[in-house]
């Protein structure tokens, strides 16, 4: 009797959790004040304190261990079925129940330890951004401004316009300097206060590039795991993006926007260029899709060095293209949609709406009011 009740509970627990999350998501301000500010930030700081001083990326090793165990266990069950040591009915009943039980437990822990941040107050309210629909002329003006800023910030890093950029900063220096931008931004927005750094370089970074992944936040250890193999002028923004996840900004567009603001305020030109480059790529991609003629016209304003970097970046990622990347993208797309990001992978590009709101507010000029 107890076993039967337990099986029923396990089978219905996942849909019950999904239903409960939909109810909770109706109160984003409550989620932010009670869950994010009180529970999550304390938990995350504790985990970063615990794992931040360890050089080994514990989260990555734990993730790989879980994937290996699940793959091995499933292969073992398939082998037993193939050898007729178990029946088909037992296979689907046993494996199916265990799979549901694992997913239910994983989703509960994930939601408790980080996932509710997807349902907090939108960032446009925090930053007081005008979120009217983006018009063609406005987008063109945003792109013009970003081209100017990106060209200028690249010149601050190097005057060399004939070769792709290679930053003089080491990977360790990029990681150690990233919190400085958060300190400056937190002076104006205390919600962005970042303490107890825990950013790790992943092992076998080319494997992550093979799957098209630049970084992963692992909420069970509080670590930001960053792929440091891509062109290093991309890395400052990637590092800041994962750090934004650490302080409770789950949505990809919001993490992109916060990374942009952090890099824009950062005194190190390499960070400024990385943030501007990310913003420019998203804005120009939107312009190319919606208004190709305007895109072709503005693209001619790219500096020779910027063109070299964009081509270098394109060739890097193309060298890792493979059929499994489609599967990875599909899984990530589904993951985002389950967590109330209806646009899935396209949610990354919604940073353009946030950038436009910032542009309407101050023309992307660095606002130092309230910043010491």
User: pLDDT of 18-51, one tens digit each?
Assistant: 899 989 999 999 999 999 999 999 999 999 999 9
Would you state the pLDDT for residue 217? 95
The pLDDT mean for the chain works out to 89
CA Rg value for the chain: 22
User: pLDDT of 146-167, one tens digit each?
Assistant: 999 999 999 999 999 999 999 9
Would you state the pLDDT for residue 211? 86
Which class for 94: exposed (0-12), middle (13-18), buried (19 or more C-beta within 10 A)?
middle
If pLDDT is split at 50, 70 and 90, which confidence band does 371 have?
A: very low
Instruction: List Cα–Cα distances, 72 to 93, 207, 317, 325, 354, in angstroms.
Output: 18, 20, 30, 22, 43
Of 107, 105, 60, 123, nearest to 250 (Cα)? 123
Decide if 57 contacts 225 (C-beta within 8 A): yes
- Mean predicted confidence (pLDDT) in 213-230: 95
Of 191, 221, 238, nearest to 49 (Cα)? 221
Of the two residues 5 and 119, the one the predictor is more confident about is 119
Would you state the pLDDT for residue 333? 60
Of 198, 183, 210, 204, nearest to 239 (Cα)? 198
pTM assigned to the model: 0.90
- Mean predicted confidence (pLDDT) in 273-279: 98
Q: Indicate if the pLDDT at residue 64 is higher than 80.
A: yes
Decide if 200 contacts 52 (C-beta within 8 A): no
Of the two residues 7 and 179, the one the predictor is more confident about is 179
- Mean predicted confidence (pLDDT) in 302-328: 87
Spell out the domain ranges in the chain: 2-119, 123-362
Q: Indicate if the pLDDT at residue 13 is higher than 90.
A: no
Decide if 328 contacts 106 (C-beta within 8 A): no
DSSP letter at 315 equals H
Would you state the pLDDT for residue 334? 59
């Amino acid at each position: 009797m107890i076993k039967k009740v337990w099986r029923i509970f396990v089978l219905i627990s996942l849909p019950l959790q999904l239903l409960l999350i939909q109810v909770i998501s109706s109160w984003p301000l409550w989620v932010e004040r009670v869950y994010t500010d009180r529970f999550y930030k304390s938990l995350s700081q504790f985990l970063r304190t615990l794992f931040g001083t360890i050089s080994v990326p514990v989260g990555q090793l734990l993730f790989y261990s879980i994937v290996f165990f699940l793959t091995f266990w499933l292969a073992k069950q398939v082998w037993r079925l193939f050898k007729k040591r178990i029946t088909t009915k037992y296979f689907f009943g046993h494996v199916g129940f265990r799979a549901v039980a694992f997913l239910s437990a994983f989703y509960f822990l994930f939601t408790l330890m980080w996932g509710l941040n997807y349902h907090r107050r939108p960032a446009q309210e925090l930053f007081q951004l005008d979120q009217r629909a983006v018009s063609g002329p406005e987008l063109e003006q945003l792109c013009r401004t970003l081209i100017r800023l990106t060209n200028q910030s690249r010149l601050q890093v190097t005057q060399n316009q004939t070769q792709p950029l290679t930053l003089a900063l080491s990977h360790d220096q990029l990681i150690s300097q990233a919190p400085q931008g958060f300190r400056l931004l937190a002076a104006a927005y205390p919600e962005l206060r970042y303490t107890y750094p825990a950013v790790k370089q992943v092992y076998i970074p080319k494997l992550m590039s093979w799957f098209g992944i630049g970084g992963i936040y692992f909420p069970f250890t509080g670590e930001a795991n960053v792929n440091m193999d891509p062109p290093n002028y991309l890395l400052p923004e990637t590092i800041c993006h994962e750090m934004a996840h650490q302080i409770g900004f789950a949505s990809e567009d919001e993490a992109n926007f916060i990374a942009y603001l952090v890099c824009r305020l950062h005194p190190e030109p390499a960070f400024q260029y990385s943030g501007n480059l990310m913003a420019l790529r998203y804005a120009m991609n939107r312009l190319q899709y919606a208004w190709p003629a305007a895109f072709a016209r503005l693209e001619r304003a790219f500096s020779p060095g910027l063109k070299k970097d964009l081509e270098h970046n394109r060739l890097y990622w193309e060298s890792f293209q493979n059929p499994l990347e489609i599967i990875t993208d599909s899984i990530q797309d589904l993951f985002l949609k389950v967590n109330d990001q209806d646009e899935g992978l396209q949610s990354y590009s919604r940073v353009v709406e946030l950038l436009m709101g910032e542009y309407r507010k101050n023309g992307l000029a660095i606002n130092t009011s309230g910043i010491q």
